């Protein structure tokens, strides 16, 4: 959210066990494995990035990660806290037919209530207590309210399958917002996937990794955020966060949102906020 790679209070001894590679650069990941593959225990990745804004994977990137981890005996972990049950029923791993070893999930499985979970291959999950020796517990584990809400939410998603509709509405909104910026001559890249998208104010043709995300004009995004607040539309305040649609955003809401963008961008074009 704040474009901070680490945080005060995290010891160097912890970060020394972490290797970083650019998202969407399978060659860079391959070089790291070539140098230190025998030491690497796991690769953790958002299969569709959401914590630097929405950045979809390049064709072959996730498959390449799966091949490298299998080759070197490392675990592949998909962080699907954002994408799980949002881009398809299950998540990226079910939609793309790529099977990671572990998947992490968040509030979606609690119907929005506080809960987190991870799941994985039987031989890995069998290492947890009481079957195995790795202790894992939490105050809210199995909370009956969260679990009841989660069951209801997942049942609704499975029965109603809102994903095609969400994708269609997101495409429409992104297309019309993009046209607003184009008419005003504001260089923009909008990345989208099913019910999530991000706006990047950049001269680049594409945004495919963190370096390209950082080319976005943060001041311009901040100005847009405040202008839209005046119009009754609240985005996430950081350009490094995703924007989400839900089934509650019907055609009328989408039209109102586009109109709010038009008024906000007009104020920016007039020099009030730009």
Q: What integer pLDDT is reported at residue 15 of this predicted model?
A: 81
Q: What integer pLDDT is reported at residue 5 of this predicted model?
A: 52
pLDDT at 11 over 90: no
- Tell me how many degrees the CA angle 245-154-65 measures, rounded to the nearest 5: 75
Angle at which helix 218-230 crosses helix 251-269, to 10 degrees, equals: 120
Percent of the chain residues past pLDDT 90, beyond the cut: 83
Residue pLDDT, tens place only, 258-272: 999 999 998 876 555
Residue written as token pair 């991870």: 118
- Which distant-in-sequence residues (6+ apart) come within 8 Å of 238 by Cβ? 1, 2
Residue pLDDT, tens place only, 126-178: 999 989 999 988 887 889 999 999 999 999 999 999 999 999 999 999 999 99
Q: What is the dihedral of CA 112, 135, 98, 194, to 10 degrees?
A: 10
Q: Annotate 98-120 with DSSP letters as a single string.
A: ---SEEEE-GGGGTTSS--EEEE
Residue pLDDT, tens place only, 181-202: 999 999 999 999 999 999 999 9
For residues 30-52, average pLDDT: 96
Percent of the chain residues past pLDDT 70, beyond the cut: 96
Q: What integer pLDDT is reported at residue 136 of this predicted model?
A: 86
b/e 65-77 (16+ beta carbons within 10 angstroms → b): bbebbeeeebbbb
Burial status of residue 183 (CB atoms within 10 A of its CB: 0-12, 13-18, 19 or more):
exposed
Confidence class for position 1, pLDDT limits 50, 70, 90: very low
Q: Are 206 and 190 in contact (CB under 8 A)?
A: no
| Structure token pair of residue 55 | 């950045």
As a whole number of angstroms, the distance between CA 84 and CA 161 comes to 14
Q: What integer pLDDT is reported at residue 267 of this predicted model?
A: 82
pLDDT at 44 over 80: yes
Q: Are 216 and 201 in contact (CB under 8 A)?
A: yes
Could you give all domains of the chain from N- to C-terminal order, each with its CATH number? 12-160 (3.40.640.10), 163-269 (3.90.1150.10)
Q: What integer pLDDT is reported at residue 2 of this predicted model?
A: 52
As a whole number of angstroms, the distance between CA 41 and CA 24 comes to 20
The β-bridge relationship of strands 196-200 and 189-193 is antiparallel
pLDDT at 3 over 60: no
Q: What integer pLDDT is reported at residue 182 of this predicted model?
A: 94
Beta bridge partners of 193: 196
Residue (of 117, 95, 196, 113) closest to 152 by Cα position: 113
Residue pLDDT, tens place only, 219-244: 999 999 999 999 999 999 998 999 99
Residue pLDDT, tens place only, 79-116: 999 999 999 999 998 877 789 999 999 999 999 999 99
């Amino acid at each position: 959210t704040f474009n901070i790679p680490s945080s005060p209070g995290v010891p160097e001894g912890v970060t020394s066990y972490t290797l970083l590679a650019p998202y969407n650069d399978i060659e860079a990941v391959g070089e790291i494995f070539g140098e230190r593959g025998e030491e690497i225990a796991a690769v953790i990745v958002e299969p569709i990035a959401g914590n630097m804004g929405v950045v979809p994977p390049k064709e072959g990137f996730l498959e390449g990660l799966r091949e490298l981890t299998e080759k070197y005996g490392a675990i592949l972990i998909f962080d699907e806290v954002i994408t799980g049950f949002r881009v398809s029923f299950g998540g990226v791993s079910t939609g793309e037919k790529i099977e990671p070893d572990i998947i992490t999930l968040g509030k979606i499985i609690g119907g929005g209530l506080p809960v987190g979970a991870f799941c994985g291959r039987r031989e890995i999950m069998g290492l947890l207590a009481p079957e195995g020796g790795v202790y894992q517990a939490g105050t809210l584990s199995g909370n009956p309210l969260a679990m009841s809400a989660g069951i209801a939410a997942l049942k609704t998603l499975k029965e109603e399958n809102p994903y095609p509709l969400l994708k269609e509405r997101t495409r429409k909104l992104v297309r019309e917002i993009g046209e607003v910026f184009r008419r005003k001559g504001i260089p923009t890249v909008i990345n989208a996937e099913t019910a999530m998208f991000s706006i990047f104010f950049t001269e680049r043709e594409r945004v495919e990794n963190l370096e390209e995300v950082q080319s976005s004009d943060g001041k311009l995004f901040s100005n847009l955020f405040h202008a839209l607040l005046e119009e009754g539309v609240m985005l996430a305040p950081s350009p490094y966060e995703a924007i989400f649609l839900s089934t509650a955003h019907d055609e009328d809401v989408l039209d109102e949102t586009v109109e709010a963008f038009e008024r906000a961008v007009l104020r920016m074009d007039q020099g009030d906020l730009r």
